[in-house]
Amino acid sequence: MSNTKLIQVFEYKKLKIGEFGFSKNHFDAMVRFNEKNENKYFTIIHNGILFNSYVGVIQIGGLTIEILPKADNNDNPEKGTWQSVLLQMLKVCKHINIDNVSETNLKKKYNSILDIYFEMYLNEIEILIKKGLIKKYRRVQSNQLALKGKLVFTHNIQKNLIHKERFYCEHQVYDKDHLIHQILFKGLIILKDLLNNEFKDKLNRLLFQFQDYQEVNINKSHFDIVILNRNSVSYSRALDIAKMIILNYSPNLNSGNDNMLTLLFDMNKLWEEYIYRILQKHKPVGFSVSFQNSDKFWEYKTIRPDIVITNDNNENFVIDTKWKIIDVKKPSDDDLKQMFTYNLHWEAEKSMLLYPKVNQEDTKFGKFHYNGLEKKCKLGFVKILENAVLIDASIISKSIFQKLI
């Protein structure tokens, strides 16, 4: 469905120059992008890239690189399966709103998850246009033949020293050419270089609706000052996607003409948030689930377990999520020390290190020996796939709660 070249790789795998259409120009662009971001997204190796825990999409000109998660021992994993797993996790964690894309479109094969964001963006703006784009007051400065609003003395002296009949004023106008629409317009302009042919017609129709609006160089500060009210709240979803597109877009990072758009997620954090959200949604009666708790540890340092579960008896249980495949039967010394600290600070009798399951079995709760306190920890493994499909969230949640008993 696309005229762009797609490369799909898995986390912690290598991509070398010359493989699958990956060129020296693409490599150089990724090196510059990674250096700009403190080398956190991947590792540069000789003539190639070694991916790490970040999954998602990198689009460089006509090349799309999709980095997929993987939690199995299959030497030839099904890429479509893990793309679907990533999509579902992003949906549960509210990083993507698949409901905005029609059921018919969901059944088709997307080139990458970026295509879903792009289609959602176009659909949202199309809906807003059909409803009628809103007007807002905005302040403008311009030369006028009559005093209108407030005279800007400094500019008036600079510009009208000779033309005494003119006034450089600041005044309000009420129209559609305001910051919200300028942001949406900028997002559409960026998509001109990124969209495949299937969406080009819709993009051009939408751009026509914005032809009289100012093109502004949008940055993070513009999003910070946008305040939505009752009349503009319907813009929130389109603005969220516009923010993703604009702030993750890097024009001309190398000497060529390839622009770059990235959408990357730390799989460790995504797994942590996914587990929290399904536990929160499907928790049994009498339990509460909290996320990203924090407690003072030493001086200004704090500690933060991933998930804390509390029952009606005020008993706490701590879960620390780990997105990796291990084949051991006991926690590491470092993990045990960390979990023991969690047990103490949150007065939890039981704690668990939770991993995706391949063929491992849960360990029994082992006891910490400290002043006669009953503190325990175990390794837990949760199955997420059944017949190459992500298992229903309620089933995963139920199995996790059972592991704490």
Whether residue 310 is predicted with pLDDT greater than 80 in this model: the reply is yes
User: Which of residues 162 and 114 earns the better pLDDT score?
Assistant: 114
Q: What are phi and psi of 316, to 5 degrees?
A: -105, 145
Q: 263-302 pLDDT, tens per residue?
A: 999 999 999 999 999 999 999 999 999 998 888 888 989 9
pTM, full prediction: 0.84
Find out if CATH 3.30.200 is the number for domain 282-403.
no
Q: 315-353 pLDDT, tens per residue?
A: 999 999 999 999 888 999 999 999 999 999 999 999 999
- List, as one string, the DSSP characters of 233-271: GGGHHHHHHHHHHHHTEES--SSSS--EEEEEEEHHHHH
- Locate the domains of the chain by residue range: 5-133+178-266, 136-175, 282-403
Among 86-95, 158-167, 296-305, 352-361, the minimum mean pLDDT is found in 158-167
Among 141-155, 167-181, 314-328, 331-345, the minimum mean pLDDT is found in 141-155
Task: Please report where in the chains the tokens 């970026």 appear, as a residue.
Answer: 114
Measured distance CA(69)–CA(67) in Å, rounded:
7
| CB count in 10 Å sphere of residue 387 | 6
- For 297, the token pair is 């540890």
User: Which of residues 48 and 175 earns the better pLDDT score?
Assistant: 48
Q: 346-372 pLDDT, tens per residue?
A: 999 999 999 999 989 999 999 999 888
